[in-house]
Amino acid sequence: MTAVSGSRGEIRHVVWDWNGTLLDDHHLVVEAFNSVLTSIGGPRIDDGFYRDHFRRPLRHMYEVALERPVRPEEWPVLDAGFHAAYESGEEGLELAPGAEMALTLLARNGSLATQSLLSMARHHHLSAQLERYGIGEAFDLVDGQLKPDDGSKSARLTRHLEALAVEDPSTVVVIGDALDDAHAATVNGARAVLYDGGSHHLADLRATGHPVAGSLFEVLEILAG
C-alpha cells in the first residue's frame, strides 16, 4: 500500500471522529442539552457556554449549568433525555460540507490511506446513522460505545489501533473536533488534525499545537502537507 505523503511524513491510516466532525450536528447537541436543562428548571445555554465548559464526562457540563451537583439517580434520566431530544431532531442532520468528498478521496482505489471511525456515540445509533448516509463502507472499522461507560477516547483509541493491527501509530492521523481527540492522538503516539466543528473555542484547539482546520476541505489540504 502506498500512502498519503505529506510534508509531515507518511499517513497510512485516518481515524475519523463522528459527531461534530463528519456529522454536522453541533447545533442539535446544544439544542438537546438545552431541552434537558429546561425540563428540570435549569437555564438555557448558548454556544459560548458550551465551548467554555464542554468536556467529558458530560455530567460536568450539566453541573456547571445547574450550579449544583447532579445526583447519582438523576444522571440516567438526564442522559436518556438528551438522547431522546437528539434523536427527535436528527432526521434533519447533514454530513459536514466536504465529508463525502474527503472519504472518497482518501479511499480512492484503496491506494491512499485506510480509514476508520471512532466515536463516543452509542454503537447501535452510530451504525444506524451511517446506514442513513450510506458511507459505512468507507471504514475498515466502525467503533462506537458498546456500553454507557466504555472508557475515555484515549483508552478507546488504544484498543481501536490494536484492533486495526496498527504497527506504527505515528503514521495514523486522528481527525476530530474536540480536545479529547487531540489528547487521544497524543497519548497514543498518533498525529491529529483538529476541525473547528463548534465544541471548543478555536484558540483552545490551536493551543494543543495540532494543526486546526476550518473545514474538511482544509483538513485534506493539511493531510496533503
* Residue ranges in contact with Mg ion by CB under 5 A: 17, 19-20, 177-178
Q: Helices 216-224 & 99-107, crossing angle to 10 degrees? A: 30
In the complex, the smallest distance separating the C-beta of residue 145 from Mg ion, rounded to whole angstroms, is 13
The nearer residue to Mg ion, 17 or 143, going by C-beta atoms, is 17
The nearer residue to Mg ion, 34 or 119, going by C-beta atoms, is 119
In the complex, the smallest distance separating the C-beta of residue 11 from Mg ion, rounded to whole angstroms, is 20
In the complex, the smallest distance separating the C-beta of residue 55 from Mg ion, rounded to whole angstroms, is 12
φ, ψ of residue 32 in degrees (nearest 5): -65, -40
CB 34 within 8 A of CB 61: no
Among 28, 10, 21, 59, CA closest to 170: 10
How far is Cα 16 from Cα 23, in angstroms, rounded to an integer? 11
Helix H or strand E encompassing 132: helix 123-133
In the complex, the smallest distance separating the C-beta of residue 137 from Mg ion, rounded to whole angstroms, is 21
The nearer residue to Mg ion, 31 or 74, going by C-beta atoms, is 31
Task: Give the CB-nearest residue to Mg ion.
Answer: 20
The nearer residue to Mg ion, 112 or 156, going by C-beta atoms, is 156
